[in-house]
């Protein structure tokens, strides 16, 4: 029960941050795309389109690579990627918890279906 309250608190805390912080929204989108690649059969990632989206959002050059490294670091226990600035690592942690909760709530099949529609252009069917 305490765990659920902590997650709910983090989600509530993260919601205003996404509205005020375009990088936090971008981190969530990139993590969703990477999660879809790993979790959804037959799905691949279009990395260059993620880079282009960062540019469209006027994020600093290198943001996509920093986010990728932070995700890899966090999700492999430090075996891959590189630790990034604390604020970015926090954004990745919050996005991870949010996505995990979404996957459990919707079920993996429904979540994958939703991501294919939501992230069209960033993920695609493997050929």
Q: Is the pLDDT higher at 16 or at 123?
A: 123
Please give the model's pTM, rounded to 2 decimal places.
Answer: 0.81
- Rounded to whole angstroms, the Cα distance separating 44 from 59 reads 24
- Rounded to whole angstroms, the Cα distance separating 45 from 1 reads 35
Q: What is the per-residue pLDDT across 52-66, written as a single tens digit (0 to 9) for each?
A: 999 999 999 999 999
Q: Where are the domains of the chain?
A: 2-125
Q: What is the average per-residue pLDDT within 22-44?
A: 94
Place of tokens 């966090």: 74
| Mean pLDDT, rounded, of the chain | 87
- Rounded to whole angstroms, the Cα distance separating 90 from 94 reads 6
Beta-carbon contacts of 24 under 8 Å, excluding residues fewer than 6 positions away, are: 14, 17, 18, 91, 94, 95
* Whether pLDDT at 7 is above 90: no
**Strand pairing partners for 45?**
123
């Amino acid at each position: 029960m305490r765990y659920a309250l902590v997650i709910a608190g983090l989600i509530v805390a993260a919601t205003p941050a996404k509205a005020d912080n375009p990088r936090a929204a971008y981190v969530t989108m990139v993590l969703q795309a990477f999660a879809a690649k790993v979790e959804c059969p037959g799905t691949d990632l279009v990395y260059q389109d993620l880079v282009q989206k960062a540019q469209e959002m006027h994020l600093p050059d290198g943001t996509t690579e920093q986010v990728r490294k932070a995700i890899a670091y966090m999700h492999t226990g430090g075996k891959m990627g590189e630790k990034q600035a604390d604020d970015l690592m926090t954004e990745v942690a919050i996005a991870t918890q949010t996505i995990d909760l979404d996957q459990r709530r919707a079920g993996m099949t429904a979540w994958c279906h939703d991501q294919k529609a939501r992230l069209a252009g960033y993920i695609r069917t493997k050929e």
